[in-house]
Structure 1
Amino acid sequence: MLRFIINRIFQVIPVLLGITILVFSMLHLIPGDPARTMVGIEASAEQIEQAREELGLNRPLHEQFFSFVGNAIKGDLGESIRTSLPVTEEILNRLPITINIAIGATIFATFFGMLFGIIAAINHNKFGDGLTMVISLLSVSTPSYFLGLLLMLVFSLHLGWLPTIGISTPIHYILPIVTLGAQAMGLIARMTRSGMLDVLRQDYIRTARAKGLPERVVIYIHAFKNALIPVVTVVGLRFGGLLAGTVLVESVFAVPGIGRFMVEAVLIRDYPVVQGTVLVVAVSFVLINLLVDIIYGLLDPRVRYT
């Protein structure tokens, strides 16, 4: 198992290097001069040169890259142009909110997705199967921004049960979590149903039933564990996607998380913030996938030798 973990870590290193190169290149792929864009078209030559010096654009490209990597490793992502505060500090202030929403959405999607998937598999080709699959199809097909506005209209404006914007109390998390987790719920439900139907056709399940074991034991002890392996992969991948998908949800519900912070930085061309937030989200996605691989190896020992 230790060798498996070490191999996965070494496989992640080139990916992290590629991400770092892409994020670093963002500033240099922008049409025109980033320094002029920062200070405005009416700025003097001295102001433009000062901006270039602050961004480090007056140094050779390889020096800029190694400086960027070295500072990122130390946790220094530069300073925000808008607030003049360290980007790392700005991200750390908003990161817990985004993580809470992503984790909440993952728990919501996993619980209800697995529940609907098991119900559909047990009631294969019956009313329960059709109903749960229709629900999962609707959840997968509905865009997050549209679902968020719809939930806001129903539960906030018409019923008055839940708050509309902000994140000041735990109740404020409900609508963003449901909105963000809906698509993942549908996907997990379909994967769980497919996995359960495949496992329920296996010989050892027929043997367990022939021994007279209760159906609940057959479903939840024998079948569900083996059907869980592909679902774990989907859940892990979706968590990374949910972390990145908070951009839309946080914008709809005016949540002060990383996603909304990134959107605001793009609109005002705060390049250090854009670089920092993209780097944090991308690295988080890769590390989550690494963790999923390790969990996958623990659940299925055969994976360790592939």
Structure 2
Amino acid sequence: MVRYVFSKLGYGLLVLWGVVTIVFFIFTLGGDPVENLVAENATQEVKDAIRQKYNLDLPIYQQYFRYLNDLSPAGVYSSDSTSRYFADPQLYAIGASVNIGGGAVVFKAPYLNRSYVSDRSVSAIIRDAMPGTIVLAILAMGLAIVLGMAIGIGSALNKDTILDHTALVLSVLGMSGPSFFMAILLAWLGGYVWYEVLTIPAWPVVFLLLFVCSRWFWNRRHKAKWSAGMGTSAVVGIGVGMVAWGVSLIFGVGEWYMHFPGTGLNMTGSLYDVDVWKGEILQPRNLILPVLTLGIRPLAVIVQLTRNSLLEVMEQPFIRTARAKGLPERAILVRHALPNALNPVITAISGWFASMLAGAVFVEFVFGWKGLGLETYNALENDDLPVVMGAVVVIAATFVVINLLTDILYSVIDPRVRLD
């Protein structure tokens, strides 16, 4: 077990080193950032001073090894306080140091450099921005897990019914919608169109209920399964209702709408709003639209994976054996089917949770949510490369940690998985 964990940790560190190396050379070889930071009439002395401050005047290979040295929890630095390779306690969060000759091995928190724009520590910028993104990711993932698994299980247990077909169609639509498009759509509908009053055309709803109820009575009279033909009836009912609504719009007669209270949700906002007199005020309702947007795609994926995996497991011989022994269906589902069907779901959950930190860029930008995504977007606009590089490193490290925890969790969920 311990050997396996260390081997996976070593593999993760190797992946992280590769990401750091690629990111460093992509941004470093892209041009001189100083030219974009200073005014057009800035003197050469000012430019040289900025390059020296951020060590941009060093050769590329020295910048690279210095960057790796700063990221490492244990780095080698000069003991001379006048040297450019001295670990300044005002910049580095130093825990301990061991002097070796003219140098020192310094044990510290990873140092991500300083922002070109604000001159703040990148670690502090990310630390301030991360809570907003983590709250979004946890709530969106929790919503996706609870609803996705519930719908997926219900869809599998009611295969080829209206519930199953509806779940499949909605999950395909959810997976097909890009995050930025869904964010714009939900912000427009929930925060603008339906802000004061939620208006829905009544004709499609009326015909939907009419056709579905008629089909239900027909099935009951002919002793057919209650769900037989329900999907077709629902689609036809909505279609006829849409035609009736279109006719009423064209001729200006029979326009019929149902009005409900509006959402009252803002198009943009963060977890805390700042009031001049009261200071920061918690605004939980600002979470609703971003969480829904961020959770749509993982929700759709979890529905599909849960349904397909559970259907496959329910056909296995050990399930038939459990039924032959007279076990209740609920016990078969909870004790035997679900534990064996959760592996692909866990993989999807771990991957999506980590990718939410990267995918939150579009969502946070559209909703003006203060988090790592919005901070990264602003840094890209301002050519603030240390902040962008720091955000990428943090997201990559999150992927590594979550994948390691997922591999360990497999052995708990599925006894067939042996880590050693």
1:28 equivalent to 2:52? Answer no
Deviations along 1:229-282, one digit per CA (max 9) or x if unpaired, are 111011101111111111011001100101000000111111111111121112
Structure-2-length-normalised TM-score? 0.69
Q: Distance in 2 between matches of 1:55 and 1:138?
A: 47
Pairwise mapping of residues 123-272 of structure 1 onto structure 2 (< 5 A)? 123-157=158-192, 158=194, 159-167=262-270, 168=272, 169-272=283-386
Query: Which stretch shifts more, 108-117 or 214-223?
Result: 214-223
Q: Distance in 1 between matches of 2:4 and 2:173?
A: 39
User: Which residue in 2 is equivalent to 1:12?
Assistant: 12
Query: Which stretch shifts more, 60-69 or 280-289?
Result: 60-69
> Which structure is higher in strand share?
2
CA root-mean-square deviation: 1.8
1:291 equivalent to 2:405? Answer yes
Q: State the one-letter code of the partner of 1:58.
A: D
Q: Distance in 2 between matches of 1:192 and 1:29?
A: 45
1:39 equivalent to 2:38? Answer yes
Q: Distance in 1 between matches of 2:286 and 2:146?
A: 20
Q: 1:112 to 1:204 in 2, by over 3 A?
A: same
User: Which residue in 2 is equivalent to 1:111?
Assistant: 146
Instruction: Pick one of 266, 273, 281 that aligns with 2:395.
Output: 281
Query: Which stretch shifts more, 255-264 or 115-124?
Result: 115-124
Note the C-alpha offset of 1:99: 0.8
How many equivalent pairs are there?
Answer: 305
Q: Could you say what secondary structure the match of 2:342 adopts? A: helix
Q: Distance in 2 between matches of 1:145 and 1:274?
A: 20
Q: Distance in 2 between matches of 1:45 and 1:15?
A: 40
1:97 equivalent to 2:132? Answer yes
Q: State the one-letter code of the partner of 1:9.
A: L
Contact 2:357 2:372 in 1 (8 A): no
Note the C-alpha offset of 1:41: 4.1
Q: Distance in 1 between matches of 2:307 and 2:138?
A: 23
Q: State the one-letter code of the partner of 1:164.
A: M
Q: Distance in 2 between matches of 1:2 and 1:42?
A: 60
Q: Could you say what secondary structure the match of 2:115 adopts? A: coil
Q: Distance in 1 between matches of 2:134 and 2:26?
A: 25
Contact 1:196 1:223 in 2 (8 A): yes
Q: Distance in 2 between matches of 1:17 and 1:214?
A: 51
Q: Could you say what secondary structure the match of 1:78 adopts? A: coil
Q: 1:42 to 1:26 in 2, by over 3 A?
A: farther
Deviations along 1:31-60, one digit per CA (max 9) or x if unpaired, are x32222222444322122122212212223
Q: 1:297 to 1:183 in 2, by over 3 A?
A: same
Any stretches of 5+ residues in structure 2 without a counterpart? 73-108, 195-261, 273-282
Q: Which has the larger radius of gyration?
A: 2
Q: Distance in 1 between matches of 2:415 and 2:330?
A: 26
Q: Distance in 1 between matches of 2:419 and 2:117?
A: 51
Instruction: Pick one of 110, 113, 120 that aligns with 1:85.
Output: 120
Deviations along 1:3-62, one digit per CA (max 9) or x if unpaired, are 2212211211211111121222233221x3222222244432212212221221222333
Q: 1:2 to 1:299 in 2, by over 3 A?
A: farther
Q: Could you say what secondary structure the match of 2:27 adopts? A: helix
Contact 1:39 1:51 in 2 (8 A): no
Query: Which stretch shifts more, 139-148 or 152-161?
Result: 152-161
Q: 1:305 to 1:280 in 2, by over 3 A?
A: closer
Any stretches of 5+ residues in structure 1 without a counterpart? none
Q: Distance in 1 between matches of 2:38 and 2:368?
A: 28
Note the C-alpha offset of 1:84: 1.8
Q: Distance in 2 between matches of 1:37 and 1:304?
A: 54
Q: Distance in 2 between matches of 1:209 and 1:163?
A: 52
Structure-1-length-normalised TM-score? 0.94
Q: Distance in 2 between matches of 1:6 and 1:297?
A: 16
Contact 2:408 2:419 in 1 (8 A): no
Q: Distance in 1 between matches of 2:25 and 2:143?
A: 37
Larger relative contact order, structure 1 or 2 (CA cutoff 8 Å, min sep 6): 1
